[in-house]
Chain A
Amino acid sequence: DAGVIQSPRHEVTEMGQEVTLRCKPISGHNSLFWYRQTMMRGLELLIYFNNNVPIDDSGMPEDRFSAKMPNASFSTLKIQPSEPRDSAVYFCASSSGRETDTQYFGPGTRLTVL
């Protein structure tokens, strides 16, 4: 298995631009998670999906952030408009869905907003 795939690996954009991060979970997994990692706040959950349905989006910072999961093999995290404070590493993870299941993380997308 290829593991969780994220693209792009690096993204540099200017303030005000739209940014779209992509994630392909491990085949057969039915839970998908988006995390953000910053020096100030550490690793924090933004949103997670079960069976393509958003379950908890309380970690999404504000309306500029949105996430979709149109099917079991693809998810996007969009920031519009982007701001410098959005600069972070964004991780996608997937699991089989139970609380005791291992979450498998992708390599992350390093986002820099100038």
Chain B
Amino acid sequence: AQSVTQPDIHITVSEGASLELRCNYSYGATPYLFWYVQSPGQGLQLLLKYFSGDTLVQGIKGFEAEFKRSQSSFNLRKPSVHWSDAAEYFCAVVFQTGANNLFFGTGTRLTVIP
């Protein structure tokens, strides 16, 4: 079955610490992969996406993500977290079925401690 999983519901990090948010998918091929961020009361904003090529993808706000085919993962990372990064982060996939609708993970809420 096709699915996308974010194992961590809530993560707390100190400001300046590094961050890694996990995302795994289940699919017979490589889907198109996205990370979105949602600040409280706001819509979703794209951080980065991957669909081919270099498996390390750079995004906005200093985020990066690495696609690992062997692990069916697309984890989001940031070397030094800022207080303004506190938000909800969603991994999303488009399964290459000809339809271009996103399937979202359940999200990871990030809390940043000063």
A residues lining the B interface (CB < 8 Å): 4, 31, 33, 42-45, 48, 55-56, 91, 93, 95, 97-108
- Count of interface residues, chain B, beta-carbon cutoff 8 Å: 23
Tell me the dominant secondary structure on chain A's binding face: strand
Give the complex CA separation of A41 and B47 in angstroms. Answer: 23
Q: C-beta contact mask, B72-87 vs A, less than 8 Å → 1, else 0?
A: 0000000000000000
A107 and B43 contacting across the interface, CB-CB below 8 Å: yes
**B57, chain A: closest CB distance, angstroms:** 12
A107 and B100 contacting across the interface, CB-CB below 8 Å: no
A99 and B44 contacting across the interface, CB-CB below 8 Å: no
Binds A, one of B10-18, B19-27, B102-110: B102-110
User: Contacts A105-B44, A106-B43; is A43 near B104 (CB within 8 Å)?
Assistant: yes
Judge whether B63 is part of the interface by a CB distance below 8 angstroms: no
Q: What 9 A-B pairs come out closest when comparing CB atoms?
A: A105-B43, A43-B104, A105-B44, A99-B100, A100-B51, A107-B43, A99-B94, A45-B101, A42-B106
Contacts of A108 in B (CB 8 A): 42-43
**B78, chain A: closest CB distance, angstroms:** 20
Give the complex CA separation of A108 and B104 in angstroms. Answer: 16
Give the complex CA separation of A100 and B42 in angstroms. Answer: 23
A45-B102, A45-B103, A102-B46 are known contacts; what are 6 more A-B pairs with Cβ within 8 Å? A31-B100, A33-B102, A42-B104, A43-B104, A44-B104, A48-B101
